[in-house]
Amino acid sequence: MKPLRVLITNLSLDGRTGTETYTRDLALALRALGHEPSVYSPRIGKLAEELRRAEIPASNDLASFDKPDVIHGHHNVPLALAILRFPGTPAVFVCHDAKVWHDEAPRFSAIQHYVAVDFLCRDRLKADGVPEERISVIGNSVDLDRFRPRGPLPSTPKRALLFSNYANEQTHLPAVREACTRNSLQLDVRGYGVGNVCENPEAVLGEHDIVFAKARCAMEAMACGAAVILCGAEGAGVLVTSDQFEALRDYNFGRHVLQQPLTSEHLLKQIARYDPADAQKVSELARAKLGLTRMVQRWVELYRELRAPPQQDDDREAIARLLSIMEAKIYRLSELEPKVAWFGAMHRLQHEELCALRKKARKAVQLHGMAQLLWKFPPTRAVMWAAGFRRGKN
């Protein structure tokens, strides 16, 4: 059959968020199947460079693209811009998040179908007014060629990984750290929140016996064979077991299944459920049902069902709706500007105070070291004793 020209939209190609890596994997897989993907994003960066190295066009200039056969839209604003740039092109909108504003369903006539990555996003699309018959669920996936199975898990876990861009001292890191400490687990942390971004998770996940993660990160860890405890800034979930796999999959192993308290006590109970044999079954299920190739084939089938929308349809109402959403968000951002400036000033002040304290601490350490050195020499010790100095006293 004729290769498809697919234009994928995304808010950003400058990071490693779930939707960004989803976009990259989809584009690479489409290219591997002989199709002609391209990616538009208002913000380009490292991920765009990666796509270009694979000879996939990635740009923030819609005029640089040829007219596609279909527009695959992540995020409502870049999708709307692509629809306006290429009138008459059928489009599909994908909802990745049940809460954020940029995943609210746009209502352009070009959008012939809507896709949710899980049941929670499906409910969000219905709440946004999309008829149920125009919604499909196509879950997230894992590139099984990149995320290879590890060797057998040990009978007792030794190393753990907290794999999340939202992990920091104000979210779920303290609870995870305490649980690991109390269970004698060596804990590593990867993600934006701790300034330790994982550029190659496929090389890291297999080195850990237990992985604390959610959604896409959890799926990648399962595919590698680690035991996965669902956990995020929103709350805690359970250790993924083979008998719960399907139910958790329906909700993308994500926010909806993080219903337990985010405490070290709860996480300790989940660690105690560690079972290498069942983790192997979970990994086999993940590799059988979460593969990227399987997901992309479903997308190609959907693309071929789409038909060019009527040219005479009027999308002014949809444009007005989208602009009103953007205006509200921009207004709220402008309200935050004074607060951001205040926090910036406080941060600079605290940084200056911290530098001054560090300087004093270094000087104190140096003086202490000099005093210890001088104390070793009897003449100096006698002089200091005569002067009234004693160890530990001034």
Q: pLDDT by residue (tens digit) across 10-59?
A: 988 988 788 898 999 999 999 999 999 999 998 888 899 999 999 999 99
From 10-24, 140-154, 270-284, the region with the lowest mean pLDDT? 10-24
Q: Is the pLDDT of residue 273 over 90?
A: yes
**Does 137 lie in the same domain as 21?**
yes
Q: Judge if 164 and 273 occupy the same domain.
A: yes
177 and 299 inside one domain: no
Mean pLDDT, residues 189-204 taken together: 85
- Identify the pLDDT of residue 354: 81
Q: What is the span of the domain harbouring residue 54?
A: 5-141+292-313
Q: Are residues 296 and 271 in the same domain?
A: no
- Same-domain pairing of 163 and 107: no
Cβ atoms of 255 and 231 closer than 8 Å = no
Other Cβ atoms closer than 10 A to 251: 20
Closest among 222, 353, 340, 241 to 291, alpha carbons compared: 222
Enter the DSSP assignment of 75. Answer: S
pLDDT at residue 267, as a whole number: 96
Check pLDDT > 90 for residue 275. yes
55 burial via Cβ count (<10 Å: 0-12, 13-18, 19+):
exposed
Residues 57 and 70 in one domain: yes
What pLDDT, in 10s, does the model give residues 338-383? 666 666 667 777 877 888 888 888 877 777 776 666 656 666 555 5
Contact predicate 144/199, CB 8 Å = no
Six token digits for residue 380: 């100096």
pLDDT in tens, 103-133: 999 988 899 999 999 999 999 999 999 999 9
Tokens matching residue 261: 């308290």
Q: Is residue 130 part of a domain?
A: yes
**Is residue 391 in some structural domain?**
no
Please check whether residue 151 lies inside any domain of the structure.
Answer: no
What are the helix (H) ranges across 86-225? 119-127, 173-182, 215-224
Q: Return the pLDDT at 394.
A: 46
Question: Is residue 109 situated within a structural domain?
Answer: yes
Same domain, 349 and 302: no
For range 294-319, the mean pLDDT:
83
Angstrom distance (rounded) from CA 295 to CA 236: 28
3-12, 59-68, 169-178, 187-196: which has the minimum mean pLDDT? Answer: 187-196
Please count the other Cβ atoms lying within 10 Å of the Cβ belonging to residue 213: 29
**Average pLDDT score over residue span 240-249:** 96
* Inter-CA distances, 197 with 164, 327, 394, Å: 9, 32, 48
Question: What's residue 361's pLDDT?
Answer: 83
Please check whether residue 322 lies inside any domain of the structure. Answer: no
Find the angle CA(240)-CA(241)-CA(244) to the nearest 5 degrees.
90
Amino acid identity, residue 303? Answer: Y
Q: What is the pLDDT of residue 349?
A: 77
Query: How would you classify the pairing of strands 36-40 and 43-44?
Result: unpaired
For residue 346, tell me if it sits in a domain. yes
Asked if residue 71 lies in contact with residue 92, where contact means CB atoms within 8 angstroms, the answer is yes
392: tokens are: 């530990």
Number of domains composing the chain:
3
CA-to-CA separations, 79 to 73, 90, 137, in angstroms, rounded: 5, 11, 19
**pLDDT top residue among 11 and 329:** 11
Reported confidence tier of residue 386, pLDDT bands at 50, 70, 90: low
With 80 as the cut, is the pLDDT of residue 293 above it?
A: yes
Element (H, E) at 13: strand 12-13
Question: So what's the pLDDT on residue 373?
Answer: 66
Tell me, yes or no, whether 193 and 120 share the same domain.
no
What the block records as the tokens of 49 is: 């460079």
Q: Do 189 and 204 form a contact (C-beta atoms < 8 A)? A: no
Q: What would the mean pLDDT of 189-212 be, rounded to a whole number?
A: 88
Spatial CB neighbours of 48, under 8 Å, sequence gap ≥ 6: 13, 14, 39, 41, 58, 59
Within-domain flag for 149: no
Residues 136 and 169 in one domain: no
pLDDT higher at 373 or 75 = 75
Same domain, 177 and 303: no
Other Cβ atoms closer than 10 A to 149: 15
pLDDT tens per residue across span 222-238: 999 999 999 998 899 99
Quick check: is 318 in a domain? Answer: no
**Residue spans of beta strands (DSSP E) within 25-158:** 36-40, 43-44, 58-59, 70-74, 91-95, 111-116, 135-137
The answer on 296 and 283 residing in a single domain is no
Q: What is the CATH number of the domain that holds 19?
A: 3.40.50.2000
Do 258 and 309 share a domain, yes or no? no
Distances (CA, A) of 4 to 30, 108, 308: 9, 22, 14
